[in-house]
Structure 1
Amino acid sequence: MNKLFFRVLVLLMSLSLIGIILVQVYWFNTSFKNNDEQFKFHVKQVIGSVADKIQKQEAYNFYDKINHYRDSTGKVPKKDDILEFYYVQKNPRTNKTIIYSNSIISEDYNISPTFFDKKFDSEKFKSFNSKRVTEVYNNNSIDKSNVTQSLIPDIRIEKTGNLDVLDNASFEIFYKDFASVLPIQERVSKETLNKLIKKELEESGVNTKFEFSIYNNNLATNVKSNEFKYNKEATYSTPVFTDNEGNSKYQLLVTFPHKKKFLLSELVSITVLSIIFTLIILIAYSSALNQLIRQRQISEIKNDFINNMTHEFKTPIATINLALDAIRNPKIIDDREKVLRYLQMIKDENKRMHAQVENVLRISKLEKKELNIIKESHNIHDIINDAIEHVNLILEDREGTIKSHFDAVRTTVLINDVHFTNVIVNILENAIKYSPNVPEIEIFTENIKDMIIIKVKDKGLGMSKIAQKRIFEKFYREHTGDIHNVKGHGLGLSYVKRIVDDHNGQVYVESEKGKGSTFIIKLPLIN
């Protein structure tokens, strides 16, 4: 049930993390698309405004030129009545008659055709005026037949003025027809266009590099920026210089080479924060998952430790109980030799349990830095020989051998003889325990620079690459089927690592599964 709960928990945490990342990616894509749409909207507004302004500027320049020419010639315009309108209202009761008349007069300034172009020799630039008259006749018999007769009205109101609507319509028709045959570079310069686009973009908050060009029927004209290149994704267009029918053969194109960079820059701050927070969540999740896995591993290792410790204590306790029962036997108690043998067994088993307890306490004190380690000068070969003596009885019981190859010339090191003897003993005991056949162990020493190298080689079970990385961890033991087939509790090599580190040395293992292991210790020499 615990395993299932753990797996479900990991699955839910993983799905939640993936969901958060996917939401962040979706939000980023959506924000980028929204920014792209807003960018497109602003740019369309800008180029539309630019197109409108350059056309109005062209009309203003043309009108200003006409006025200057007209004023400079001093000609009196020729006037023509093009429309006259009358309206008569008579009140029979009061005998009052009101006549309203409206006349539209055109004024032709006879502008020389050479001012424009020979193509416009039949064109006339005209302006239009209106004359509006209201006449009131009292007690006069006026009817439709004598409206135009010369009668003096009792009241006469006359108004005159320009007809701006007709003037503007006439001017726009005339100037657009004229301008349509001019080359584009005479209608607008690239400098003027560049300044106008830049100003409009800045006012809209689009502060990024742009290039522009005016196309004539899908072909580029000379009115363009130096680095203009058409890009379907980043180029926007609008008609410019429309004619009297509302059509245009010109298109204003504006492209943004760094469009994506500009759009991303608007999201950069919130995106960076989003990435940072996502990374924090990812790191926290990875750390939590790692801790969960490690806790499970530690729990399993501790269970192994308890099982092995129980097993190792159970055998000595059982042996001691059997020995005590044997001593109580009336037939044995009077046999001095057998009593002494059973007492020795009790002592040996008690010593074995004591050694296990000491090993645990030693590791505990070492972790709390309460272990007092006093170092003195010693010959490392003497320490190794002393350790060999400690394991001789176990080795003889297994009919094993230890061969020494002491090739080191300089052997004096600063160590604690008791603890370092335990280090070598632990390594030798492991070599004996993990040799399924008759133990064959070799010990080598050699000098490399200012170091002495100690190698303990066996022909035992060996270990996997994973085990080699974790062999010096507290409580760690590689599983070999039945966890009790080799007695131990995973503390010996942890102790070895701690002691060697405290002596400013290094310890590591080289091993191959089924071919044995070599433990290597490097220690600094005393100069």
Structure 2
Amino acid sequence: MGKKLFSLLVVLMSLSLIGIIFVQSFFINNTYKNEEKQFISDVKRSLISVSKAIEDKELLSYNKLYREAIENGRTPDTSEIKQLLIFESYNEETNQAIQFRNAISEESFKVPSLFIDIGTDSINISRITNFSETKIFERSTIDGQLSMNPVQTFSDYSTMDDVGRRIFKDNYKKVYRNYPVYKRITNEEVSELLESEFSISGIETAFEYAIYDKDLSTKIRSENFEKDAESTIGIPVFRDNENKSKFALYVDFPERRKYLLSSLLGMIILSIVFTSIIIIAYSSAIYQLIKQRQISQIKTDFINNMTHEFKTPIATINLALDSIKNPKIIGDQEKVMRYLKMIKEENKRMHAQVENVLRISKLEKNELNISKERLELHELVEDAITHVELLVEDRKGFVKLHLEADKSSVLANETHFTNVIVNILDNAIKYSDDAPKIDVYTENVGNNILLKISDQGNGMSKQVQKKVFEKFYREHTGNVHNVKGHGLGLSYVKRIVDDHQGHISVESEKGKGSVFIIKLPLIS
């Protein structure tokens, strides 16, 4: 896959993921707003029912006084015809006249205010009565004058009709409109009505309430009520005959947001879970793709390096063999032996490269059995130095020992751990442009021993330090083959140190050298 195509796929996948997250957030936000609108609608509908219930309760109180006055036979103070309808007709065949009258009368009574506490000794109530009467007259002429003689009379006092009820309600509202609100309703009654209506509407959350007289709070309120222009919902109560009121019932829900979110909790959790799975899967896929590209590039470099490493000895062997076959050379025993030695050395070199690769492969598969015994780390260090001593001297460099640890007994494999130290020393030599200058330190830290191998070579950047122990990794310096190797040495070092329950790290600065630090547990 080309770099441009890979980058395009990553961008498209990232945009798609961001789009999915945006759509989910937009959907949840819209659902929350719809739930909030429905909640406000339910609250307002409940408050309308509560307002009507409060007015009905007051009407019933007034009606109770009205019935008492009538049942006790009180004499009205006044009697007034509120509405009168007269209809007349004449039938010539029967010589009879029909007269229909319909009236609503109002009678006022003054009664003690024993049934409700309104702050006065007595109140005026009114009885509204429907009066209907039908009379039939017969026309006759007596002494030349027209006379109307009643023949039949029908009368009916029935219950009030709609007009009567309206007049009745108007009267009761006039009676109560100037009374303090706390004498018209109690906190307990308001609380019970609100709880009942909210329960019917399915609103199961804590609320606070208050009745305000215009902009002033009254005694009818809950303890923790606070009016908030954004969250408080109100509706008029105790409306007058013109459907207006100076009183308003307000409710507020302290846990409103939490209550609304609780209804969406399941959807939000599922959305977060599934979105997280998609993000994790996407991130993992991108990581694996990038890793595979890196591995592919590293393996390509490894193959190139291995080819280069084998190409030189193979060419040397071929030249040596061609020389030996030369009739002039084959008779020269000394030259033949020198060429045979060259062939053996190059063959040994190739064999060592193959063994190194196989050793790493076995380590990864846990097939390499590493037996351990009690060893002195100082002795392993001194032995490893003898393997590189000639190379250092040839380049006019030095290796200085600073073995200051009092205890150096460790449980280790002699061959493999010697190879670990040799590999680090070999890197210090290869990555020093000038004469290699190497210092080796040991010290005891608690129940551990620290081995530090410091050089004054090229050093490495922070980015390289993070990857230096990865398999096949080699720092690019413009010329792939300017330093011999195939990126397996330090990977092998780390695997062996880990197998010895140790820890290896590197401290380095570009152009100022590197320090490799190995920490191993001591044995008593």
TM-score (norm 2): 0.91
Residue matched to 2:167: 170
Residue 157 and residue 167 in structure 1: after superposition, are their counterparts in 2 closer, same or farther (change >3 A)?
closer
Alpha-carbon offset, residue 462 of structure 1: 0.9
Instruction: Kindly indicate whether residue 339 of structure 2 is the aligned counterpart of residue 342 of structure 1.
Output: yes
* Maintained 8 Å contact 2:88/2:100: yes
Alpha-carbon offset, residue 85 of structure 1: 2.3
Residue matched to 2:52: 52
Alpha-carbon offset, residue 524 of structure 1: 2.4
Residue matched to 2:353: 356
Residue matched to 1:243: 240
Residue 77 and residue 510 in structure 1: after superposition, are their counterparts in 2 closer, same or farther (change >3 A)?
closer
Instruction: Kindly indicate whether residue 4 of structure 2 is the aligned counterpart of residue 4 of structure 1.
Output: yes
- Map residues 234-383 of structure 1 onto 2, 5 A cutoff: 234-383=231-380
Partners in 2 of 1:360 and 1:272 — Cα distance?
50
Alignment RMSD (CA, Å): 2.8
Partners in 1 of 2:196 and 2:358 — Cα distance?
82
Instruction: Kindly indicate whether residue 100 of structure 2 is the aligned counterpart of residue 101 of structure 1.
Output: yes
* Maintained 8 Å contact 1:406/1:445: yes
Residue 213 and residue 30 in structure 1: after superposition, are their counterparts in 2 closer, same or farther (change >3 A)?
same
Residue matched to 2:131: 130
* Maintained 8 Å contact 1:130/1:163: no
Alpha-carbon offset, residue 380 of structure 1: 2.5
Instruction: Kindly indicate whether residue 189 of structure 2 is the aligned counterpart of residue 188 of structure 1.
Output: no
Residue matched to 2:496: 499
* Maintained 8 Å contact 1:133/1:159: no
Residue 497 and residue 78 in structure 1: after superposition, are their counterparts in 2 closer, same or farther (change >3 A)?
closer
SS at 1:309's partner residue?
helix
Identity among equivalent pairs (%): 50
Residue matched to 1:452: 449
Partners in 2 of 1:78 and 1:219 — Cα distance?
39
Alpha-carbon offset, residue 160 of structure 1: 4.5
Relative to structure 2, which stretch is displaced further, 399-408 or 359-368? 399-408
Alpha-carbon offset, residue 329 of structure 1: 2.3
Instruction: Kindly indicate whether residue 465 of structure 2 is the aligned counterpart of residue 468 of structure 1.
Output: yes
Residue matched to 1:19: 19
Residue matched to 1:29: 29
Alpha-carbon offset, residue 485 of structure 1: 0.9
Alpha-carbon offset, residue 226 of structure 1: 1.7
Residue 105 and residue 367 in structure 1: after superposition, are their counterparts in 2 closer, same or farther (change >3 A)?
closer
Q: What per-residue deviation string (whole Å, max 9, x for no partner) do you get for residues 280-333 of structure 1? A: 111111111111111111111111111111111111111111222222222222
Partners in 2 of 1:389 and 1:117 — Cα distance?
115
Alpha-carbon offset, residue 36 of structure 1: 1.0
Residue matched to 2:148: 149
Partners in 2 of 1:31 and 1:297 — Cα distance?
45
Residue matched to 2:72: 72
Partners in 2 of 1:124 and 1:456 — Cα distance?
110
Q: What per-residue deviation string (whole Å, max 9, x for no partner) do you get for residues 25-82 of structure 1? A: 1112101110111011111111111111101111110111222234235448876777
Q: What per-residue deviation string (whole Å, max 9, x for no partner) do you get for residues 171-199 of structure 1? A: 22211111111122112222211111111
Alpha-carbon offset, residue 352 of structure 1: 0.8
Instruction: Kindly indicate whether residue 214 of structure 2 is the aligned counterpart of residue 217 of structure 1.
Output: yes
Alpha-carbon offset, residue 495 of structure 1: 1.0
Residue matched to 2:110: 111
Query: How many pairs are equivalent?
Result: 519
Partners in 1 of 2:407 and 2:121 — Cα distance?
114
* Maintained 8 Å contact 2:125/2:172: no
SS at 1:149's partner residue?
strand
Residue 163 and residue 427 in structure 1: after superposition, are their counterparts in 2 closer, same or farther (change >3 A)?
closer
State the AA in 1 paired with 2:367: E
Partners in 1 of 2:330 and 2:287 — Cα distance?
60
SS at 1:472's partner residue?
coil
Q: What per-residue deviation string (whole Å, max 9, x for no partner) do you get for residues 223-269 of structure 1? A: 22221111111111111111122221112211222221211111112
Residue 117 and residue 439 in structure 1: after superposition, are their counterparts in 2 closer, same or farther (change >3 A)?
closer
Partners in 2 of 1:455 and 1:513 — Cα distance?
18
* Maintained 8 Å contact 1:130/1:160: yes
Alpha-carbon offset, residue 422 of structure 1: 1.3
Alpha-carbon offset, residue 403 of structure 1: 2.1
Alpha-carbon offset, residue 216 of structure 1: 1.8
TM-score (norm 1): 0.91
Unaligned runs of 5+ in 1: none
Partners in 2 of 1:504 and 1:103 — Cα distance?
112
Partners in 2 of 1:214 and 1:76 — Cα distance?
37
State the AA in 2 paired with 1:365: K
Partners in 2 of 1:299 and 1:261 — Cα distance?
52
Relative to structure 2, which stretch is displaced further, 71-80 or 342-351? 71-80
* Maintained 8 Å contact 1:100/1:134: yes
Q: What per-residue deviation string (whole Å, max 9, x for no partner) do you get for residues 336-372 of structure 1? A: 2222222111111111111100000111111111112
SS at 2:517's partner residue?
strand
* Maintained 8 Å contact 1:126/1:167: no
State the AA in 1 paired with 2:253: F
Residue matched to 1:411: 408
Q: What per-residue deviation string (whole Å, max 9, x for no partner) do you get for residues 131-174 of structure 1? A: 3336497xx879xx999622546xx7654434433432332221
Partners in 1 of 2:446 and 2:209 — Cα distance?
73
Relative to structure 2, which stretch is displaced further, 20-29 or 207-216? 207-216
Unaligned runs of 5+ in 2: none
